[in-house]
Amino acid sequence: MVDPRPYCRLAKILCILAFPAISSITFSSAIEKTDIAFVSRGYSGTVLYPTINSFQPETASVLAGLSKISVGKVSSFEIFDGGIDSNDSDYKDSDEDINPASTTHDVVVVGAGSAGLYAAKTLNEYGYEVMIIEATNRIGGRVKSESLGDMRVELGAEEHYRATGDNPVWNAVRDAYGESIYVSPYLGRTALSMDGSSNTCWRKSSALHPCGDDSDVAIFDDFGNWYWEPNQHLDPGSSLAEDVADKYGVDASHRAYHLYDVGFAGGSYATNLDQLGARSLALQSNQWDLSNSTQTLGDKDLGYSDVLETLWWDDVVTNSDLLLSSPVVSIDTSGDDVVITDSSGATHAARQVIVTVSIGVLQSEMINFIPDLPEATVAAYKGIGMDMGMKVPMRFSSAWWETEGEALAWLVTEGLAGACWVPSDYKVDSSSHILMCYPMGDNGTALNDIAVAAGGAAAGDAAIIDAILADLDGTFPQALGLASANYVEGIVQNWGAEPYTLGVYSYPKIGTYATASDSRRRDLQDPVANERVFFAGEGTHITHPSTVPGALNEGGRAARAVHAINGQPNNPPNSVPVSVKTIDIDGNGKFDALTDGLLILRSMFGLSGTPLISGVVADDAVYKYSGQIQSRIAALGDRIDIDNDGRTDALTDALLILRYLFGLRGDLLIAGVVSDNAQRSEASDIEAHLLELITPEPS
């Protein structure tokens, strides 16, 4: 029963909202429930709320951010810190954090990269309540833009595929930013380092060394018409390096091997030639269904992650719960719910989970699946390739590489730099000179080793850049030493060392594809744990893996699969075909102020998702997902307009319900909480109406 002591009455909403957590919190000494107010620990300032109503808009964020409950005299509406006198003898503090250690959702999505965010977007559109749990402190995953010089550079995905195939990006970007936003990425001519600096050739007939004069380069040009044909690669156990040696006589000791190894395998598949399965690659490439031509964002102030955030992710984050910096450590499907535990020990229950972590993360087995994943799933993620690699954009004081008076479209080196290009050339109006190098596979591993030996962190990055500059210094015969001489600053994005990516992107190794339709990527799409755990990401796409559109498509596929299994979302208005006659909101057969009453109060305050249900759903609840709860409250309609003033209001109707469920009757029930326009204002009428709402229908 509520003890309406003055200081609690002053902060009555806060007292009531704080109730639910009290039973599960340890206090160092016994306290009266009614003495409770919020303290948001870690909050350093003081916010003055002149009236209770003025606090109302803040309830959602307070509930979400609440870390502790303290009790004491509430002297003002300065609820945070300043609102409670901690020197008063009444002051007591909860021993533990009460920040909800457990939450419940319709669906949890693990990973806030392209696949995870698109899955959440799709689920939100169906009406699901979604929590996204992300290991790092940012969203976007392998789409990551940063500033260097006067422009945005891409540390992950850079090329945009045209509209061909199932690509949601192209038209959305052009619709939002205009057709001229897209420009051609590789302007100028290709240069290929050969025989050290001595024979580096340019694809230009008047160059010092024209590539057309080099017969080994001419043979490499044929390779592009051959590697992707399955009938040219019949041996399922052969690497592409072996097939190239058989076909062209080019093995690892050949002077042109780096063109295949670094230029092709590294530049396109982020690995080495000997890691690619020849038949797997051909089967994958032969059914490639995105455009073969790509464009990039010409606006120097816009990066890939900037446009995706504006187009979609800002809304997704608004419409979902998002937990950052919370690596998932286990996914337990042994009970009725899927229980996802993050590294803080917090648990998140859901009906289904969509896991969108990279192939490298799955292979590391940092997420403990309980019970173990089926053998086919383990074989699937182990059967897909993912190697070390990094992107290293470097700013120079001049375009020192333009040794033939031409822009440099694409460079393949023989050292650690790998393949490089010039993003500042396609960024309209950029005056920076930025060379992007792409050391993948063995080059990525070697550079990572150099960074580790240098002590990692900034010293490691500096060592990587030194090693790349040393390679570039010796690449062009007319520009010896000019890379180091012109270097200004750079960024190292070492994807292989990112603990929550562990590689660059997936590639087809030997055995990844047995036939076009029988692949480990396909196997990984199969849901497990009785259709409650789904995998999605660039690595699960069969016909255009390793791309942003592929990841988006896979997030969408998994979300649709979840929806197909549920039949319909749990969320209102259509989900629970409810005819709700009583205020037993959680369906446990009881009428309880601290569960049913608070659910109605929070709902009338406009809370949804976790803030709606956190801590206030009974253990024996039949309806425990926020969507179900919302549906049931919505289905009550004007029955919960208790004072019959034509609208449902937290400060009148919900408080009447709460007081009634706490046992208050007569004047104590209605004092101060009946609206001026009430058509039902007498205590006896209100009690009669509330009695109906707690009277189960005869079964």
Ligand X SMILES: Cc1cc2nc3c(=O)[nH]c(=O)nc-3n(C[C@H](O)[C@H](O)[C@H](O)COP(=O)(O)OP(=O)(O)OC[C@H]3O[C@@H](n4cnc5c(N)ncnc54)[C@H](O)[C@@H]3O)c2cc1C
Which residues of this protein are in contact with ligand X, per CB under 6 A? 110-116, 133-136, 141-143, 156-159, 327-328, 356-358, 361, 366-367, 391, 495, 500-501, 504-505, 537-538, 546-548, 550-551
Q: Which of 483, 441, 445, 479 has its CA nearest to residue 465?
A: 483
Distance separating alpha carbons of residues 376 and 181, to the nearest angstrom: 44
Distance separating alpha carbons of residues 309 and 311, to the nearest angstrom: 6
CB nearer to ligand X: give 356 or 675.
356
Neighbours of 459 (CB within 10 A): 12
Distance separating alpha carbons of residues 584 and 348, to the nearest angstrom: 24
Distance separating alpha carbons of residues 199 and 214, to the nearest angstrom: 9
Run of H or E including 242: helix 240-248
Distance separating alpha carbons of residues 581 and 636, to the nearest angstrom: 7
CB nearer to ligand X: give 538 or 586.
538
CB nearer to ligand X: give 98 or 411.
411
Angle at 629 between CA 623 and CA 631, to 5 degrees: 115
DSSP reduced 3-state for 340? strand
Residue 133 CB, nearest approach to ligand X (Å): 5
CB nearer to ligand X: give 39 or 297.
297
Residue 158 CB, nearest approach to ligand X (Å): 4
Q: Which of 368, 376, 373 has its CA nearest to residue 339?
A: 368
Distance separating alpha carbons of residues 273 and 271, to the nearest angstrom: 7
Neighbours of 440 (CB within 10 A): 29
CB nearer to ligand X: give 136 or 644.
136
Residue 504 CB, nearest approach to ligand X (Å): 5
- Give the chain's radius of gyration (CA, Å): 31
Residue whose entry in the numeric block shows the structure tokens 């340890």: 26
CB nearer to ligand X: give 327 or 527.
327
Residue 263 CB, nearest approach to ligand X (Å): 16
DSSP secondary structure string, 137-154? Answer: SSS-TT--EEEETTEEEE
CA-CA-CA-CA torsion sign (316, 318, 320, 322) = positive
CB nearer to ligand X: give 329 or 578.
329
Residue 356 CB, nearest approach to ligand X (Å): 5
Backbone angles phi, psi at 664, to 5 degrees: -75, 140
CB nearer to ligand X: give 351 or 391.
391
Query: Can you name the residues that pair with 39 across neighbouring β-strands?
Result: 68
Residue 130 CB, nearest approach to ligand X (Å): 14
Amino acid at 633: I
Residue 349 CB, nearest approach to ligand X (Å): 16
Residue 279 CB, nearest approach to ligand X (Å): 23
Residue 10 CB, nearest approach to ligand X (Å): 43
CB nearer to ligand X: give 327 or 597.
327
Distance separating alpha carbons of residues 470 and 197, to the nearest angstrom: 12
CB nearer to ligand X: give 114 or 626.
114
Residue 526 CB, nearest approach to ligand X (Å): 17
Tokens (6 digits) for 691 = 């009695």
Q: 456: Cβ–Cβ under 8 A, 6 or more apart, which residues?
A: none
Residue 65 CB, nearest approach to ligand X (Å): 21
Diameter of the chain by CA atoms?
A: 101
Looking at residue 594, the DSSP 8-state letter turns out to be: I
Q: What per-residue string of b and e applies to 545-576 under the rule 16 or more CB within 10 Å gives b?
A: bbbbbbbbbbbbbbbebbbeebeebbbbeebb
Distance separating alpha carbons of residues 512 and 517, to the nearest angstrom: 11
Q: 172: Cβ–Cβ under 8 A, 6 or more apart, which residues?
A: 311, 312
Distance separating alpha carbons of residues 384 and 363, to the nearest angstrom: 9
CB nearer to ligand X: give 367 or 655.
367
CB nearer to ligand X: give 133 or 408.
133
Residue 546 CB, nearest approach to ligand X (Å): 5
Q: 268: Cβ–Cβ under 8 A, 6 or more apart, which residues?
A: none
Residue 303 CB, nearest approach to ligand X (Å): 12
CB nearer to ligand X: give 157 or 616.
157
Distance separating alpha carbons of residues 688 and 692, to the nearest angstrom: 7
CB nearer to ligand X: give 134 or 274.
134
Residue 284 CB, nearest approach to ligand X (Å): 14
